[in-house]
Amino acid sequence: MLCIAKRYKLVLLIAVFTALLNLNSFAQKKSKVLIKNSDQLEFHRNAIPPVNVFWGHVYIIHDNIKMYCDSVNQYESENRIEAFGKVHIINADTVHIYGDYLNYNGNTKLAEMRKNVKLKNKSVTISTQFLDFDMNQNMGYYYNGGQIIDSTNILTSDIGRYYTREDLLFFKDSVKVISNDYILYSDTLKYNTVSKTAFILGPTNIVGKKETLYSEDGWYNTETNISQFFKNTTLNSKAYQIKGDSIYLNRNEELAKIYNNVEMRDTVNDLIIKGNFVETFKNQEEALVTDSALFIQISGLDSLYLHADTLHFNKDSLGFDRIKAFHHVKIFRTDLQAKCDSLVYTTQDSTFRLFKDPILWAQENQMVADTIKLETQNNALKYIRFRGSSFITSKQDSNLYNQIKGKNMLGHVKDNKLFKLDIDGNGETLYYPKDNGIIMGMNVAKSSDITILMKDNKIDQIIFIKKPDGHMYPLFEVKKEMLFLKDFKWMEDYQPKTKEDIFNWEEHVPITSQMILKK
């Protein structure tokens, strides 16, 4: 019984295998290429392989494919034809292929079209000398150079594939797209013929009338002029360069949005802008920078770094660049640091204007006023203007501070050092002169207008323009309440000591005279 069961299973397996072979043979059975019309016919049975020759108004069909030509060689044993002269293939009623020579295999449904080839589908025309078209996949490809023209673009490449059913074109090697506004050069490109969108799949340069763009990944809608790029993207013009992890462009509105690791370089004025989000409006020549916004003014080995919550760039009425910084503004340069709530810088006069509780640190001096102006020339500081409640402080000893106070002040700078200070209105000074490094006493003086000469970051001479009211006190006569001018504050904790400190905005308590006197 066991042997009979095994023999029965073996017979059953053979039957199933034979049925599968027959099913596969049926599935592989191919329809014949049929010659439906011609003016003349010849049979060459002795040829190897045998061939039927038709010429004159030849009409051929294969499944839903129609073909026309001047003459055709039919190889029935191979289910293959060779067509010559004014060859025309119609596939799925929308795809038309033209050429001088066709080799068509009915078993594989592969059409090899040669010489003066054109493929037309909807609004797309492909021109090449070598085109293979797979009727099963509705896909044509060339490999020896081709040109594609649609309603908006002209495209050339060495290698191309066209999926007519999906309306997709793939291009490889020496890809070039020509439109009215730009020329695109790429290594690898995908193009949707319906949406008119080009997908960048490799190194690509887009050359416009005013700017060029390089990227290795992204898309560009050639009809709407909207694009977005994601890898190693750089936008260049004569005046600036922009880099970012992701760049969105709307050329119609001349709008750009750049995300993450953004860097903008003004190559004319030696300025750099960084942040994690930048929005630019080229029509108005505006830019908005947020998220770790950073402005860098390049000056040899000692550049100026400025950070704020928001940076806004535009042109003034005369066409000069203007930069506005809002909230939590800090500046660092080796010889100068600053803090304020808002700031304006213009290239017209190369001046920084600091507003709302500004503080400036330079040459061991702390300087405050209602507003402060830093006037530069050739990226070097020339004048510092203090307007309203001006107060300059420097630390002389542990609890002794040189102090200069007035309504308005003008600081003169040479070689980035403050060498002269003009006090205009309500001038007061409190300082500790030294002799051979020893403090001689405390000098207190008042005069409406005072000029102070600085040397080695210290007060060297005081010139009273009008008759002063002053006195020199020996240190043993100085009482605690005499140590400070009114409104004294020491705010060293706010001072950025490195360029990284400009991103630190911790709140500190200013040191007042009362706090020092209580020690």
CB 125 within 8 A of CB 151: no
Which residue positions in the chain have pLDDT lower than 50? 1-28
Helical (H) or strand (E) element with 26: helix 2-28
| pLDDT at residue 27 in the model | 43
| Confidence at residue 28, expressed as pLDDT on a 0 to 100 scale | 45
**Beta-carbon count within 10 A of 476 CB:** 6
Which run of H or E residues covers position 293?
Answer: none
Please report the domains of the chain, with CATH numbers, ordered by start residue.
352-519 (2.60.450.10)
pLDDT of residue 472: 92
CA distance 5 to 174: 68
Instruction: Please tell me the predicted confidence (pLDDT) of residue 283.
Output: 59
Tokens encoding 473? 């006190």
Among the listed residues 100, 170, 86, 164, the one whose alpha carbon sits nearest the alpha carbon of residue 130: 100
Closest CA to 61 of 106, 99, 95: 106
Q: Beta strand 294-297 with 304-307: parallel, antiparallel or unpaired?
A: antiparallel
- pLDDT at position 321 is 82
The answer to whether residues 494 and 454 touch, using CB atoms and an 8 Å cutoff, is: no
The CA distance from 325 to 313, in Å, is 9
CB-based contacts of 22, cutoff 8 Å, min separation 6: none
> Residue 10: which H helix or E strand, with range?
helix 2-28
Q: How far apart are the first and last CA of the chain?
A: 112
Given a contact cutoff of 8 angstroms between Cβ atoms, the answer to whether 142 and 159 are in contact is: yes
Long-range pairs of 288-295 with CB within 8 A, sequence gap ≥ 24: 288/312, 288/313, 289/262, 289/264, 289/313, 292/503, 293/325, 294/502, 295/271, 295/323, 295/325
pLDDT at 11: 40
Tell me the C-alpha distance between 256 and 281, whole Å: 7
How many CA atoms lie less than 13 Å away from 9 in the CB half-sphere? 6
Q: What is the pTM of this model?
A: 0.75
Coil, strand or helix: which one is 67? strand
SS3 sequence, 223-243? CCCEEEECCCEEEEECCEEEE
In the numeric block, the tokens 């034979």 are attached to 18
